[in-house]
Structure 1
Amino acid sequence: MISHVYVGVTDFDRAFRFYAALMSTLDLTLKFREPETPWAGWMKEGEPRPLFIVGRPYDGESAERGNGHMIALLAATRERVDQAHAAALAHGGTCEGPPGLRPHYHPNYYGAYFRDPDGNKLCVCCHNPVAPS
């Protein structure tokens, strides 16, 4: 359904450090990085789409966050949600909701919410139940 998501950023190097740390916790692979453009994109290993791309806006204007916009990324486990949230905060993000169950969405929804250094709102969530031990 989705080909790619493009998130505008004001400081590419800062954004790249933030998103590289975040994407590594989700096992997403860097497909390209072109500092001269500047932009970078990540993908799931072995799958050409969807892509998650960050970069300067094409019109050359400053990146601005949207009110009500949020991108939610899937995590395979609840532990990965915790790791992604921690990585986001360690790399300049701000918390918008700590990791935890949100049963008002559904019984197994486990998510965390944060903003990147430019103020773009993100979520990392897992829809899977806890695996039996």
Structure 2
Amino acid sequence: MFSHVTLGTNDPARARPLYDALFAVLGRPLFFESPDGDFFGYGTAAGRLFICRPFDGKPASIGNGTHVALDAPTRQTVRDAHAAAIAAGARDEGSPGERPHYHEHYYGAYFRDLDGNKLQVVCHLPVSQAGP
């Protein structure tokens, strides 16, 4: 459904290590970086996430009620990605776990990046396919 999502940052160099760690766990490569390093993106043709300073030159800010959910192939990947983000300075917004109020196989974790953007890593597969 989506081509890409862009999140703003006020300090790309500070944001970069968190996203490098997160996407290393998710197996989504860095596919774009501007010459000055202030604009970079991860993913594949199936979906991409860009991080950059806002194009209007104003400070980056977060959207209330907005978050980006990143798909994970296993529940362990959810746990590993959440741990990598937290270790890189993200703030926990919901530890890895089942959330059956969304659907019976939903397993996710939430965190905020260094600019306050809310992200989630989620696996939608049943335990029989995604592991415990």
TM-score, normalization by structure 1: 0.92
For residue 5 of structure 1, what is the aligned residue in structure 2?
Answer: 5
SS at match of 2:17: helix
**Which residues of structure 1 form unaligned runs of 5+?**
none
Structure 2: distance between partners of 1:108 and 1:4:
25
**Aligned counterparts, 1:1-133, within 5 A:** 1-34=1-34, 36=36, 38-44=38-44, 48-131=45-128
Q: How big is the shift at 1:131? A: 2.7
SS at match of 1:131: helix
SS at match of 1:31: strand
Structure 1 ranges of 4+ moved more than 2 A: none
Structure 1: distance between partners of 2:82 and 2:96:
7
Contact 2:12/2:37 (8 A) holds in 1: no
Q: How many residues align?
A: 130
RMSD between superposed Cα atoms in Å: 1.5
Structure 2: distance between partners of 1:50 and 1:109:
20
Instruction: Indicate the percent of aligned positions where both proteins have the same amino acid.
Output: 49
**One-letter identity of the residue aligned with 2:97:** G
**One-letter identity of the residue aligned with 1:70:** H
Q: How big is the shift at 1:61? A: 1.1
**Which residues of structure 2 form unaligned runs of 5+?**
none
Q: How big is the shift at 1:106? A: 1.0
